[in-house]
Amino acid sequence: MTLAAYVPHNYPLVEIEPGLEETAFYDPNNFTYPAGAYACEVELDPETGRVTIERFAAADDFGNVVNPMIVDGQVHGGIAQGIGQALLETTTHDEYGQLLSGSYMDHAMPRASDVPFHAVNHSCQTPCTHNPLGVKGCGEAGAIGSPPAVVNAVVDALQRAGHSHITHIDMPLTPLRVWTAMQG
């Protein structure tokens, strides 16, 4: 039938257009609920406030995984983006509303050297119960788990070094911001 629809030989062209198209909407019952745990180890240079990520690991449950390579890639990209948000990227304006971080000479994008080798794992696969494939979303997880992991690691390092007054630093944790927080 499809062949007849697309190669319209002997076909009632006056009554029916060639081709065969159908549109359907899938309205899921609910959001999917992926879950995970992220771990980050950092080193802090107390004299300059510079943060270096020593190790990073991400474990996520994405339900049934259809294409593992793509899922890995999604998490890799999310982690790079999250590290950039935690340590580097900012959109800053001066008191007149002028954008200060208007080019990549001032807006620091994470480069390969800013992102450590990191382990990702999605071997725990608890199928989603309310869609036919049992799949869960994986595109946002990397960028969700990494900023808190990095920031909490830095705060932990500062607390261990005796800076008990520091419980939070606004992102990005640039050397300037970390050092300024350390001055009390």
Closer of 44 and 135 to other proteins (Cβ): 44
Least distance to other proteins, CB of residue 54, Å: 18
Residues 6+ apart with CB under 8 A from 103: none
* Count of C-beta atoms within a 10 Å radius of residue 142: 25
Least distance to other proteins, CB of residue 119, Å: 25
By CB under 8 A, name the binding residues for other proteins. Answer: 47-48, 50, 88, 90, 92, 100-101, 104-109, 114, 174-176, 179-180
Residue with tokens 């799949």: 135
Closer of 91 and 123 to other proteins (Cβ): 91
Closer of 27 and 170 to other proteins (Cβ): 170
Least distance to other proteins, CB of residue 94, Å: 9
For the record, the structure tokens of 100 come out as: 């200060």
Q: State whether residue 105 is helix, strand or coil.
A: coil
Closer of 15 and 47 to other proteins (Cβ): 47
| Distance in angstroms (rounded) separating the CA atoms of residues 130 and 20 | 30
Least distance to other proteins, CB of residue 179, Å: 6
Least distance to other proteins, CB of residue 126, Å: 39
Bridge-partner residues for 52, per DSSP? 43
Q: Which amino acid is at 46?
A: P
| Distance in angstroms (rounded) separating the CA atoms of residues 139 and 70 | 10
Closer of 76 and 107 to other proteins (Cβ): 107
Instruction: Give how far the C-alpha of residue 82 lies from the chain's centroid of Cα atoms, to the nearest Å.
Output: 6
Q: Which helix (H) or strand (E) holds 121?
A: strand 118-121
